[in-house]
Structure formats: structure tokens, C-alpha cells
């Protein structure tokens, strides 16, 4: 949903659905939505070229696409709506250690919904960048270690007070 300003950089590829020459009609996507769709296409090409390699479970990442879509306040229509609906289903399974830890420190006692993403989880993730270490949020969302996730979530919760 970010508009292109000025000349495009010299690059092999510039992926932005708001480019003047883009015909996708997906200019309403947040960056995570654009990245997710790029991953879907990359996975498709990899399946075609490497049929004997196990496919990546991209659906397990939809909780992150939903989080970004809600927190970036983009229109909840089309593919954005699908990201959020399916992403909430994934988030409710609490397979992402970081999101699960944030849900605990946020005292979310019910299935995660868009309110929780927008007003409880999102601000805590962003607290590191506002007040301390911006890498805390990405470390939290990427970790598979529940102890590390709990520690980072507690730090972000404190920073968000």
C-alpha cells in the first residue's frame, strides 16, 4: 500500500504492486502480504523444478501475514481478508512460539481475534522499535525456543507499558 516515489532503484527485480507499470491490482497489500505472495510463487517454482523435495508449509506462516495485515490497517477485502481469516485460524493453534508468548503476557484468555492483533499483540511487537531494540520483534516471531520467546515477550510487554 506504500506508493512509489521517484525513480526505481537499479535492481534485478523491484516488487511493489503500486508501481505505475504493475497490473496486479494488489496495491492494497501490506509488505508482508506482498512477501507472502512472492513466497507462494517461489514455492510453486521450486515444486516444479525440484519435485522430489518436500514442499514448504507456507500456510503455517499465515498468522504472521494476518498480524501484519491487521496492524498495517490495510483494507480487509480480497486477499487481505483471506490472509486474516485463515491467519487467525493458524494463530489460534499457537504454533508460533513468539505469538503464543505474546498472547500469554497480554493475558488473552480467548481465541485470538483482530482486536488482539491490533491492540494487544501488534503494539507489543512494535514497542522494541519505539523504545529499545527494533530487532526484538523479529527475533520473537522467528524463534522456535519457548524459553527465548517468553523472555522476549516479557521484555516487549515491559517496554509497552
| Domain locations in the chain as residue ranges | 1-92, 94-161
Are 28 and 50 contacting, i.e. CB atoms less than 8 angstroms apart?
Answer: no
C-alpha–C-alpha distance, residues 146 and 119, integer Å: 23
Using the predicted structure, report yes or no on whether residue 1 has a pLDDT greater than 60.
no
Identify the band that residue 2 occupies on the pLDDT scale cut at 50, 70 and 90: low
Cell of 112: 485470538
Helix 97-105 and helix 135-142: axis angle, to 10°?
A: 110
- pLDDT tens-digit map of 4-26: 677 878 888 878 777 778 778 78
pTM: 0.89
C-alpha–C-alpha distance, residues 55 and 58, integer Å: 9
- Residue 27 has a pLDDT of 81
Give the residue-averaged pLDDT of 67-72. Answer: 97
Which comes out higher in pLDDT, residue 50 or 1?
50
C-alpha–C-alpha distance, residues 79 and 38, integer Å: 13
Cell of 38: 512472492
- pLDDT tens-digit map of 105-156: 999 999 999 999 999 999 999 999 988 798 999 999 999 999 999 999 999 9
- Residue 4 has a pLDDT of 67
- Residue 74 has a pLDDT of 94
- pLDDT tens-digit map of 72-103: 999 999 999 999 999 999 999 999 999 999 99
Amino acid at each position: 500500500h506504500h506508493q512509489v516515489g521517484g525513480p526505481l532503484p537499479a535492481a534485478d527485480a523491484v516488487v511493489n504492486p503500486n508501481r505505475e507499470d504493475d497490473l496486479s491490482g494488489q496495491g492494497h497489500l501490506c509488505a508482508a502480504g506482498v512477501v507472502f505472495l512472492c513466497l507462494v510463487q517461489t514455492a510453486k517454482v521450486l515444486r516444479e523444478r525440484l519435485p522430489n523435495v518436500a514442499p514448504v508449509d507456507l500456510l503455517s506462516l499465515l498468522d504472521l501475514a494476518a498480524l501484519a495485515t491487521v496492524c498495517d490497517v490495510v483494507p480487509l477485502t480480497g486477499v487481505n481478508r483471506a490472509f486474516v481469516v485463515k491467519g487467525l485460524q493458524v494463530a489460534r493453534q499457537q504454533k508460533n512460539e513468539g505469538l503464543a508468548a505474546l498472547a500469554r503476557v497480554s493475558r488473552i484468555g480467548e481465541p485470538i481475534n483482530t482486536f488482539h492483533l491490533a491492540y494487544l499483540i501488534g503494539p507489543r511487537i512494535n514497542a522494541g522499535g519505539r523504545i529499545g531494540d527494533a530487532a526484538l520483534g523479529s527475533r520473537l516471531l522467528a524463534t522456535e525456543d519457548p524459553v527465548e520467546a517468553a523472555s522476549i515477550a516479557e521484555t516487549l510487554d515491559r517496554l509497552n507499558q
